[in-house]
Amino acid sequence: MTVEKNRNQSIVAAEHYYDYEARFIKQKREQERINILPRVIKPAMFTKGEFALGDLRVFSRYTVAPLSMLTCGFLELPSGAATTPRRMIPSLIAYIIDGAGSCLQDGRRFDFSAGDLVIVPPYTTYQFICDRRQGVRAWLPQVRLWHGQGLLWRDSFINGERENESESSSAQKIAALFQSRREVLAAGVGKTRYDWFLRRLAEENRIERESPSVIRGFECNWESTRQGKVKFYLSRWSEVAASALDVMMQEIAPGERSGEHRHIFEELLLVVRGRGYDLQEGTRQAWEEGDLICVPPMIVHQHVNGGAEPALLVSVWPRQPGHELLGGIEQISNASDWKR
């Protein structure tokens, strides 16, 4: 009996060992892919379909860019056009690159223009509508958290009806779930730690009702920092109904460079205007308007303006994992125009 027990334990231990070894092998291969994939992705290199860097499924990571958690899409509409109404479980943000229009959210209209950030709360029917005189181009960064949690469900509508009625039962259950959650307005005044968690849902509902659905670019204040001239659209202190990403814009004057820093979390940048290059761990990565700059984890990086006009970059990174689970930012050198 003892011999048989020891033999079974040996088999289990071996299984665990080989699984452990396989994880290291897979991690090594992923690191090799990170090293060979381009750090600057040009429009001609974008994947076909909705997502420029690969879709939201976790197993599509490291196929286009050296990023695991971040991907993005682009929205381009001619003047007077509109998207099909859609609803999904995660929240959504859209940086308006060019044009003007409005976003319908559960029947409410919110106007936007170039330089604004549109925020769509979780499980909200939304539709983008262009101004009759001009089209719209928008950038839609997203995180790849939802696939692993089984939250990629989406509801599309045509003429107010669901595109696929066979999913009606599932859609009704999800609708009932969110209706129940949004009806929570208060959770008592208990003082235990668990009571704090109960109050969070009521607080999130309040934020969804009261927070802005469009953040105006001209209302965000520029700051002179050790990293350079920046302004935040979203940060961990923002009260908005979309808390997956931080969003920051940086302007770099001709001949100047940003600070040099490093962080454990990934970063994805859109070049809105200008041209220049990144310095990433000693390599030079050229970029220009329309490109996506990818910064893998733990990489020392710096942005340099190599053109004759100011460069404008919009940057996103995962908010909660970035700040609360993986530490902060290590500043290695200051921006070239930083003044104490």
How far is residue 117's CA from residue 140's CA, in Å, rounded to a whole number?
10
Is the per-residue pLDDT at 10 higher than 60? no
- The structure's pTM equals 0.89
The reported pLDDT for the residue numbered 110 is 98
- CA torsion angle for 260, 264, 265, 269 (degrees, to 10)? 20
Write phi, then psi, for 151 (nearest 5 degrees). -115, 30
How far is residue 91's CA from residue 70's CA, in Å, rounded to a whole number?
15
> Which residue from 261, 301, 306 is spatially nearest to 281, judged by alpha carbons?
301
Question: Is there a contact between 254 and 307 (Cβ–Cβ < 8 Å)?
Answer: yes
- Per-residue pLDDT, averaged over 192-206, amounts to 91
At residue 6 the predicted structure's pLDDT band, cuts being 50, 70 and 90, is low
Is the per-residue pLDDT at 140 higher than 70? yes
> Which residue from 75, 89, 4, 74 is spatially nearest to 41, judged by alpha carbons?
74
Mean per-residue pLDDT over the chain, rounded? 89
Is the per-residue pLDDT at 18 higher than 70? no
Is the per-residue pLDDT at 157 higher than 80? no
- Per-residue pLDDT, averaged over 7-11, amounts to 52
Query: Which DSSP string do the residues of 114-160 spell out, in sequence order?
Result: TT-EEEE-TT--EEEEE-TT--EEEEEEEETTTTTTT---EEEEETT
Higher pLDDT, 45 or 8: 45
DSSP structure class, residue 274: -
The angle formed by the CA atoms of residues 86, 87 and 90, to the nearest 5 degrees, is 135
The reported pLDDT for the residue numbered 161 is 61
Indicate the range of 11-15, 36-40, 42-46, 175-179 predicted with least confidence: 11-15
Q: Which two tokens stand for residue 53?
A: 């860097």
At residue 8 the predicted structure's pLDDT band, cuts being 50, 70 and 90, is low
How far is residue 318's CA from residue 41's CA, in Å, rounded to a whole number?
19
> Which residue from 269, 88, 61, 79 is spatially nearest to 174, judged by alpha carbons?
88
Question: Is there a contact between 313 and 238 (Cβ–Cβ < 8 Å)?
Answer: no
By CB atoms closer than 10 A (0-12, 13-18, 19+), residue 213 is: buried
> Which residue from 176, 80, 183, 212 is spatially nearest to 136, judged by alpha carbons?
80
- Name all domains of the chain by residue range, CATH numbers in brackets: 221-333 (2.60.120.10)
How far is residue 122's CA from residue 142's CA, in Å, rounded to a whole number?
13
